[in-house]
Structure 1
Amino acid sequence: MQNSITVQNLKCCGCANTIKNKISEIDTVSDIKIDIDNSIISFSTKSNEDLLKVHDKLKAIGYPSIDDENSFASKAKSFISCATGKISS
């Protein structure tokens, strides 16, 4: 099933690299596309449980959905994730 999540704190290719790498760790997620300009992560999953796993993973690395609180901790995590993504690209 095709899904998309609009996230906060997505600013650049470094962020996108980290998001793609981390979401790819979930075996049942495929066809990941990231629209940096609109902060939309699109992907395919096999179940709603997989969608929740992606949602939780994004929040854990600092990219909460627009429906979640964007705390100082989330912003700090996204800054680190962005830097990591820039280094690994």
Structure 2
Amino acid sequence: MKHTTVQIQNLKCGGCANTIVTQLSKLEGIFDVTVNNDTDEVSFYHNLEEELNVVKTKLSDLGYPMVGEQNSLPKKAKSFVSCAVGRMTK
């Protein structure tokens, strides 16, 4: 099992973190998801390289693209929605 940490954009609060943990934990092959709001990092365990790509795509779809990826206005807007959802489901 491999431990991976990625740095993301648009991470604002605990609501964002809750959404990320909830959504990534639903993915097959992804375990022990944690979010560090101070460093804008998401850490998790996985077995296959394809699972890492699925995580990156899911994060981007939620509005949290990797640092270095394009951070368009629609992605920023999605992150606000994800944030609100995360706050309501805490």
TM over 0.5: yes
Partner of residue 43, structure 1: 44
* Residue correspondence of structure 1 range 1-89 to structure 2 within 5 A: 1-89=2-90
Task: Tell me the secondary structure at the aligned position of residue 18 of structure 1.
Answer: helix
% identity of equivalent residues: 39
Aligned-pair Cα RMSD in Å? 0.5
Provide the rounded CA distance (Å) in 2 between the counterparts of 1:19 and 1:12: 11
Q: TM-score, normalised by structure 2?
A: 0.97
- 2: CA distance, partners of 1:48 / 1:67: 20
Question: 5+ residue gaps in structure 2?
Answer: none
Give the length in aligned residue pairs.
89
Distance in 1 (alpha carbons) for counterparts of 2:28 and 2:89 = 21
Q: TM-score, normalised by structure 1?
A: 0.98
Q: Take 1:36 and 1:5, find their aligned partners in 2: how far apart are those partners?
A: 12
Stretches of structure 1 that go unaligned for 5 or more consecutive residues are none
Give how far 1:31 is off.
1.2
Maintained 8 Å contact 2:32/2:45: yes
